[in-house]
């Protein structure tokens, strides 16, 4: 049973050590993420599932390690307590692990699920429906970015479709509009380099019947990339 969800962006720049001199520019985003995680903690879940985009889908058990060494920073993180063998966390889940460590997340069992950023909507729905089964109190931390084409200097250059796409996603996340999230265009999201579309659609399916309300906590596009933070409870 899904009792709460938090939606956060997943750029490694969210980690101050990675952002270096530009770190203050995302202080408001970090604060919003902390507030969203506070909503999760207040729901008193039995377990936490972290969902984030990656080049390849897969499960990552509690204690899986992640690193920001690929971004030139000697910083390691762990998804919850423990030391699990296996591949490192993808970047999105490493950012989530950093957020959880930073906010002193309560020690409930946690697991990561990497979602192929291009996963078709139908498969996202099937994954979400499977996640929310069971009688335990489940919380979701959903990582993902909006478009990367909001300005001329954005990673995807300027695309006039980017702002409307992000606005639609912001409205859906801010109101917990499951149908609107499910209707996001996968092809357009790919062209706009939005990594959040698939995780958001997994969330939408997982939240069916949960009766959650949404609040939008942050909606900005620093560096020309849409970053959204929302809390559902």
The string of pLDDT tens digits covering residues 22-81 is: 778 899 999 999 999 999 999 999 999 999 999 989 999 999 999 999 998 899 999 998
Task: Tell me if 27 sits within 8 A of 40, measured CB to CB.
Answer: no
The reported pLDDT for the residue numbered 24 is 85
The reported pLDDT for the residue numbered 86 is 78
Domain containing 139 equals 2-232
Extract long-range pairs of 185-192: CB within 8 Å, 24+ residues apart: 186/118, 186/120, 186/121, 188/161, 189/147, 189/165, 190/117, 190/118, 191/159, 191/161, 192/147, 192/148, 192/149, 192/156, 192/159, 192/161, 192/162, 192/165
Mean pLDDT score of the chain, rounded to an integer? Answer: 94
Q: What share of the chain is helix, strand, coil (3-state, %, to 5)?
A: 40, 20, 40
Task: Domain count for the chain, please give it.
Answer: 1
Cα(231)–Cα(63) distance, rounded to whole angstroms? Answer: 25
CATH number at residue 220: 3.40.830.10
The reported pLDDT for the residue numbered 173 is 98
The reported pLDDT for the residue numbered 142 is 98
Cα(122)–Cα(37) distance, rounded to whole angstroms? Answer: 28
Tokens of 23: 């770190």
Question: pLDDT tens digits, residue range 39-50?
Answer: 999 999 999 999
What average pLDDT values come out for the chain (233 residues) when binned by 10 residues?
Answer: 97 92 86 96 95 95 94 92 88 97 85 96 95 87 97 90 98 98 97 97 96 97 95 98
Query: Taking the alpha carbons of 78, 82, 88, 93 in that order, is the dihedral positive or negative?
Result: negative
Cα(134)–Cα(160) distance, rounded to whole angstroms? Answer: 43
Angle between helices 121-131 and 197-206 (to 10 degrees): 40
Radius of gyration of the chain from Cα atoms? 16
């Amino acid at each position: 049973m899904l009792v709460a969800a938090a939606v956060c962006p997943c750029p490694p720049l969210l980690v101050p050590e990675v952002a270096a001199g530009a770190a203050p520019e995302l202080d408001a985003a970090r604060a919003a993420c902390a507030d969203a995680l506070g909503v999760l903690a207040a729901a008193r879940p039995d377990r936490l599932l972290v969902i984030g985009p990656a080049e390849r889908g897969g499960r990552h058990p509690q204690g899986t390690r992640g690193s920001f060494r690929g971004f030139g920073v000697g910083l390691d993180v762990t998804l919850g307590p423990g030391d699990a063998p296996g591949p490192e966390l993808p970047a999105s889940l490493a950012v989530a692990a950093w957020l959880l460590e930073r906010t002193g997340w309560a020690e409930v069992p946690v697991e990561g699920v990497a979602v192929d950023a291009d996963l078709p909507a139908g498969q996202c729905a099937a994954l979400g429906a499977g996640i929310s089964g069971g009688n335990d109190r489940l919380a979701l931390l959903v990582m993902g970015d909006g478009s990367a084409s909001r300005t001329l200097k954005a990673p995807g250059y300027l695309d006039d479709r980017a702002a409307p796409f992000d606005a639609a996603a912001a409205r859906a996340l801010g109101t917990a509009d499951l149908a609107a999230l499910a209707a996001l265009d996968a092809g357009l999201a790919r062209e706009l380099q939005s990594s959040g579309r698939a995780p958001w659609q997994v969330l939408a399916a997982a939240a069916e019947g949960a009766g959650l309300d949404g609040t939008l906590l942050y909606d900005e596009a620093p560096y020309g990339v849409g970053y959204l933070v929302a809390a559902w409870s």
